[in-house]
Chain A
Amino acid sequence: MDRQLNTFQRIYKNPYLQFLIVGVLFALLPTLRAAGMVKAGTVTVIGTTLIYTIAALGLNILLGYSGLISLGTAGFMGLAAYCSAYFTEQLALPFWQSLILALLIPTVLGVIVGLLSMRFVGIYLGIATLAVGEILSEIFRQWDAFTRGTSGARAKYPKIFGMQLDQTGMYYLIVIITIIVFILVYQLLKGRLGRALNAMRGSEAAAMAMGISVYKYRLIAFGAATLLASLAGVLYVHYIRISYPTIWGLPLSLDFLAIIVIGGLRSIYGTLVGSFVIFAMSELVLKQIPYMENYSLVLKGVLIIIFILFYPYGLAHVVSDLRMRLGRRKTKVHPLAAKEEDIDG
């Protein structure tokens, strides 16, 4: 950013332009389908993948930037999905009102978990969020009046600005929201707030000495993460139009974790790429290969371990990682390396 760039570089290196181009590429998909070049199912898979990207981006703010692990992402996403289905179907609220409530309720809960997190030493947080996720799962299973239990809660394509969306319309909405989320997250994290979260993760002592209120920024991180998970949940339930309790369990939360570890901690494009690896690949590629489908969990686990150990910056940085391994100059540091105090226990 400090080097002099020529005009051409200045244009293609402009992050906003890049986001827009990505958005336009995704938006082309329904047209390609109409031309018979891709299957209808593919569009749905990619729409869902974008939805998962939004939730995973939330987890990336929490884990990647702030170093706070959460195993409850799926639970919060599910809660928002059920809320939106309940408000629009059972209570017949307009989509907008329902949207606001469905974002607000899980986010408030997420902030409460953030408050709890203040008291838990970092590594116990995983356990606390695991328990929270389990509590939510239990609620989804048991509270039939709210979730319709195992028969599933149904929802419709929404009506916005007086326009009734169909499946393709909903896909466009997802693309637009994804790109807006990318831009906002990029802006939010590229400056002071991003540095404060980084400081909290990298050295809590330094953060406090530099006037950063760990309390405030943990709440912001939890709030942002649950808000994005909730947004993803609402989009999901109005795109797939049904929600079952079994979707929102620990395996999905692990998928989000795999996405950001494999795609890249603290990277927006990494999160997108990770989502494609975890969701789109297994839907579009692995299912075509005999036996492979049965091993998708194994593959995910192996990838998580390999990436954490050897490519800790994820796919987003695989090329520069490789160059670093081959090259002499050490210009990168492992993002999850232990500090002195960790090793003594």
Chain B
Amino acid sequence: MADLMKHEATLLDIKNLSIAFGGLKAVDDLSFSINQGEIYGLIGPNGAGKTTVFNCITQFYKPDQGELRFRNKKGDIVSLTSLPTYRVLEQGIVRTFQNVELIRELSILDNVLIGAHIDYEKTTVLDELFNTGRRRREEKKQIEAARRALQFLGIDHYRLFPAGSQPYGIQKKVELARTLMSDPKLIILDEPAAGLDERETVELADEILRIRKEYDTTILLVEHDMQLVMKICDRISAINFGRLLATGTAAEIRADQKVQEAYLGVDA
């Protein structure tokens, strides 16, 4: 605990994180930390354990060992492992999923509004039942916020279509828009560029940079598209078989012997 979160700038500190499934060590004694305002990349070959790290941070999996400390919205340092999954968001951590998780039958607008769920703190079930003025005002405010997020990503004109009826690229953007609704301190993106074509990927890089700026937030992402990672990430950690290979800037990672070996054949 003593050496965790010792810098003011540290947002998330991961220390000696381990989790195993059956005999398989998916994450093995992994440590790294993220500073406020960074765009941080986590890379590694297929099955390296990247998604599992995200699942541990967001408490979808409870790690076997290790510490996860986070400086939350109020500025307090919390241990994430003590929280149930659904209370991670209110600390200021929001995520997307590798296999897009949208409510397919709901409209895109409604999907984005789900991201604002915890923002409705002041309206109760009774407010909803009797459709009070407070509820109507709140709903209007959130719809405006959702449309701003959709406009920000250039998909506002699709908002009334069911999410499941749209192409993959749009669905990914809807998930991204949904993360913007909860005023997050840390946005975790799991392969945001997967399935996008080249033009869309370039667009995405630009959007991620704009999100950091306009929403004043920190971003942690997993991505296989090395060009994208090298272009936008301030720092990168490379892992394989759940273990850390190296941490550093794009140039340092590219030059690293171990990383090159792990990516044998893959352009790094």
Contact = CB atoms under 8 A, between A and B. Distances in A.
Interface of A: 2, 184, 187-188, 191-193, 195-196, 198-199, 201-203, 205-214, 220, 330-333, 335, 337, 340
Contacts, number: 106
Given A199-B103, A206-B114, A208-B86, 10 more contacts: A187-B129, A192-B128, A203-B103, A205-B60, A209-B85, A210-B118, A211-B88, A211-B117, A331-B161, A333-B164
Name the 4 nearest CB pairs between A and B, nearest first. A202-B103, A333-B164, A211-B89, A211-B118
B129 A184 contact: yes
A195 B128 CA distance: 12
A332 B94 contact: no
B162 interface: yes
13 contacts: A188-B125, A192-B128, A192-B139, A201-B103, A203-B103, A206-B101, A210-B114, A213-B84, A332-B105, A332-B162, A333-B162, A333-B165, A337-B104
Interface string B91-104: 00011010101111
Nearest to B109: A2
Contacts of B115: 210
B200 to A, nearest CB: 21
A335 B105 contact: yes
Interface in B6-43: none
Nearest to A220: B125
B244 to A, nearest CB: 25
A168 B130 CA distance: 29
Nearest to A324: B165
B110 A209 contact: no
Nearest to A183: B131
B94 A209 contact: yes
Contacts of B113: 192, 195
A208 B60 contact: yes
A337 B104 CA distance: 10
Contacts of A214: 86
Contacts of A212: 86, 114, 117
B106 interface: yes
B104 A210 contact: no
Interface of B: 58, 60, 84-90, 94-95, 97, 99, 101-106, 110, 113-115, 117-118, 120, 123, 125, 128-131, 135, 139, 160-162, 164-165, 178, 182
B158 to A, nearest CB: 11
Nearest to B115: A210
Nearest to B58: A209
A187 B117 CA distance: 17
B162 A331 contact: yes
A207 to B, nearest CB: 8
A213 B94 CA distance: 15
A195 B105 CA distance: 11
A210 B128 CA distance: 19
A250 B117 CA distance: 37
Contacts of A332: 105, 162, 165
Given A199-B114, A333-B162, A193 B125 contact: yes
Given A192-B123, A195-B110, A210 B182 contact: yes
Contacts of A330: 165
A198 B103 contact: yes
Contacts of A184: 129-130
A265 B58 CA distance: 32
A210 B88 CA distance: 9
Contact of B182 (A2, A188, A211, A213): A211
Contacts of A213: 84, 86
B105 A210 contact: no
Contacts of B135: 191
Contacts of B110: 195, 198
B161 A198 contact: no
B103 to A, nearest CB: 3
B126 to A, nearest CB: 10
A208 B128 contact: no
A247 to B, nearest CB: 30
Contact of A196 (B104, B114, B129, B182): B114
Given A206-B97, A208-B60, A209-B94, A192 B103 contact: no
A214 to B, nearest CB: 7
Nearest to A199: B114
A206 B94 CA distance: 10
Contact of A210 (B60, B123, B164, B178): B178
Contacts of B139: 191-192
B125 A210 contact: no
A120 B131 CA distance: 33
A227 to B, nearest CB: 12
Contact of A203 (B58, B60, B101): B101
Contacts of B85: 208-209
A202 B165 contact: no
